[in-house]
A and B are shown apart, each in its own frame.
Chain A
Amino acid sequence: MTGLSELISRAGGVFLLPVAMALVAFILIGAPSSWLTLTVAGLSMGMMIFLMASGLSLVFGLMDVLNFGHSAFISFGAFVAASVLAALGGWLGADSVLLNLLALICALAAALAFGLAGGWFFERVIVKPVYSDHLRQILITMGALIVAEQIILASWGGSPLNVPRPAFLEGSLLIGDASVDLYRLFAFALGALVYVGLHLLLNRTRIGLLIRAGVENREMVEALGFKVDRLFIGVFMVGSALAALGGAMWAGYETLITPSLGAELMVVVFIVVIIGGLGSIQGTLLGAIMVGLADNYVGFLAPKLALASTMILMMLILLWRPSGLAPAVK
């Protein structure tokens, strides 16, 4: 028994869970082609959710600040990107992949820029006055979420908005019998890219070292001569920008978005962060992938249980590990 558990922990420990899920699903689903389609869908969904959740997790880890208004950035990212895409409709439909790509890059960049600016404003005006007061923090960020949602409603109206996709990402790839959506592959690749970037930033740079140390013990980092506040606003801005990027990607994935998008995704984001454990990028990725896979597999096997399945997953994991699968060391 100890031999087995040691073997598992050497092979990756809790990070094997998604693999185990995929294997179980393979047996339950039976058809390899459907399984492949679903797995790719799950992974790409997981990556998009990872984008949305990573900032929340880091911000919490570093400053003990939980931003309930985080989902506003997801919504804003989606709507800003959708508007830019709509404005550049000509480029999107053009035959040139270059123009397509340019339009997409513009849209994603706009979402990122909005997230950075919004994050700065949010941190300075909304969050800063209530550092270290959890109750008021939760209330105020919740209030900010209400206001942000109303601003979206006022700016874009309440009716669903169509999101055009760049032509080169339309359609799907056939692998054997399985069809894999191109957009999903792109979402997966982008998410993976961001993860690698974050990982390198956190593990290979001095700023990353400071962030990791700050997540563990903010006071000690300050006693060593660094101002964590300055670090924090940077992390907050990047986190908000990533949420906006995730929202933008999600908009293209759904192709029809409503202002309640952020609030709906927020629940998933919370579940991911709880499953993964707060404060660590690896944990967030793990949680996101598991939720993405579970949602797609269960959505195929028992459609009505999709959302409940992630909830059940969360409960089981909390019973097993009350602080999540791979939280930052505190």
Chain B
Amino acid sequence: MKGTLTVKTASLLIWAVLLFAPFLFQDVRSLEVAARIAVFIALVASYDLLIGYTGIVSFAHTMFFGFGAYGAAISLKHIGAGWGALGLGALAGVVVSLVVAVLIGMLSLRVKAIFFAMITLAAASVVLVLAQQLSGLTGGEDGITYKTPAIFKTATKLMVDDDGKVIRLLGVKLNGKLAAYYFVFVTAALMFWMMLRITGSPLGTVLKAIRENEARAEGIGYKVVAYRTAVFCIAAVTASLAGSVYAVWLKYTGPDTALSFAIMIDILLMVVIGGMGTMWGAVIGASALVLAQYYLRDLMEAAAGAVAAVPVLPELLTPERWLLWLGIIFILLVYFFPSGIAGTIINKGDAK
């Protein structure tokens, strides 16, 4: 149990850092990083429910994330910057996600896993193209900028002192930005907690049985297709909600932030790096990759500058090539550490 304990401790530590992030790192960029980590933990956890716990490979997770983000964005833009509009938009995203998830699930979860992967990939691409083309609704390539509920405005003062100035706590202004961050933090933590509960519930046990031996689970009497479709729906709804939350944080939604295939690759990388089949791995994977995204590029830039005199190397080390290195790391991970960071630690620690 030592390994499991290590992983859980590490994950909880990350959550603790996220909880106090505004106070620990008092700059705008760090807060961006923290919020992105929180949202992606929820997103990756919901994806892990599919790939790790059920053995379903879907490439449509960003599509659901996008439904939620665009739902919130369109509603906030056209109805107004209120909680009602936000709720309505998020709900619309959830409904669309559910309908599409049920459709895809019924259509293709019956057949081979590979069919499912291909169909979800095709569906996600079509949605991406549609979002780019239906510019009247989605803003096309440019995306949509909008206002969020007033409490999240940076200018909003949550608490004021006698002079009417915003109060600072440990040097941090208690303003709308802080409120927005904690909105993201709390909703992401809630979603993560839900995922944890699901995997610990009887449903989680059934899913594992299906993953281990489908024919056997079917033989015992579980309706495998129904369970798979249900899980696919749960994951889709969670991704959609995460999308709405992220849309609130960014105050902007466009193909690059909500639908692009790059996000799908990010999610895949996070799941694999963290460890498939362990919810706690999602926390580690999401944190590691988001940190890498923000800071590895800086590092590569420095490295490229340092080797500027050498041929070829600078070309390979430019920050634009960082996906190349991530891809190679990804392949090596899948070969040598298919259970990811969390899985490897758990296996090693528990074996002792």
Contact = CB atoms under 8 A, between A and B. Distances in A.
B117 A66 contact: yes
A314 B118 CA distance: 11
Nearest to A139: B334
Contact of A134 (B111, B113, B123): B113
B110 interface: yes
Interface string A131-151: 000111011101110110111
A256 interface: no
B107 interface: yes
Contact of B117 (A138, A151, A266, A271): A138
B324 A151 contact: yes
A274 B112 CA distance: 11
B114 A274 contact: no
A32 interface: no
A125 B32 CA distance: 39
Contacts of A149: 323
B133 A304 contact: yes
A270 B121 contact: yes
A192 interface: no
Given A66-B117, A139-B272, A315-B107, A146 B327 contact: yes
A267 interface: yes
Contacts of B123: 311
Interface residues of A, number: 41
Nearest to B262: A146
Contacts of A153: 320-321
Given A151-B324, A308-B126, A308-B130, A139 B121 contact: no
B338 to A, nearest CB: 6
B51 interface: yes
B268 A142 contact: yes
Contacts of B70: none
B99 interface: no
B196 interface: no
A135 B53 CA distance: 12
Contact of A147 (B57, B134, B327): B327
B338 A307 contact: no
A251 B297 CA distance: 32
Interface in B261-311: 261, 265, 268, 272, 276
A319 B107 CA distance: 7
A266 B125 CA distance: 10
B315 A154 contact: yes
B203 interface: no
B108 A318 contact: yes
A144 B107 contact: no
Contacts of B92: none
Contact of B111 (A135, A142, A323): A323
A140 B122 contact: no
A322 interface: yes
B51 A135 contact: yes
B118 A147 contact: no
A129 interface: yes
B326 interface: yes
Interface string B311-352: 000011000110110111011001100100000000000000
A154 B316 contact: yes
A264 B260 CA distance: 12
Nearest to B125: A267
Given A129-B335, A139-B272, A270-B122, A150 B321 contact: yes
A170 B320 CA distance: 37
A126 interface: yes
B25 interface: no
Interface in A212-254: none
A38 interface: no
Contact of B331 (A134, A140, A150): A140
B167 to A, nearest CB: 47
A143 B332 CA distance: 9
A156 interface: no
Contacts of B338: 136
Contact of B114 (A66, A307, A308, A315): A66
B20 interface: no
A323 B116 CA distance: 11
B77 to A, nearest CB: 22
A60 interface: yes
B324 A150 contact: yes
Nearest to A273: B118
B129 interface: yes
Contacts of A134: 57, 113-114
A146 B122 contact: no
A146 B326 CA distance: 9
Interface string B8-42: 00000000000000000000000000000000000
Contacts of A144: 327, 331
B323 A322 contact: no
A261 to B, nearest CB: 14
A281 interface: no
A173 to B, nearest CB: 32
Given A140-B334, A273-B118, 13 more contacts: A138-B114, A139-B272, A150-B324, A153-B320, A267-B125, A267-B126, A274-B115, A304-B134, A307-B125, A308-B129, A311-B122, A311-B126, A322-B108
29 contacts: A130-B334, A134-B114, A135-B51, A135-B113, A136-B338, A138-B114, A138-B117, A139-B272, A139-B334, A142-B268, A143-B331, A146-B327, A146-B330, A147-B327, A147-B331, A149-B323, A150-B321, A150-B327, A153-B321, A154-B324, A158-B320, A267-B121, A274-B119, A274-B122, A307-B129, A311-B126, A314-B122, A315-B103, A322-B108
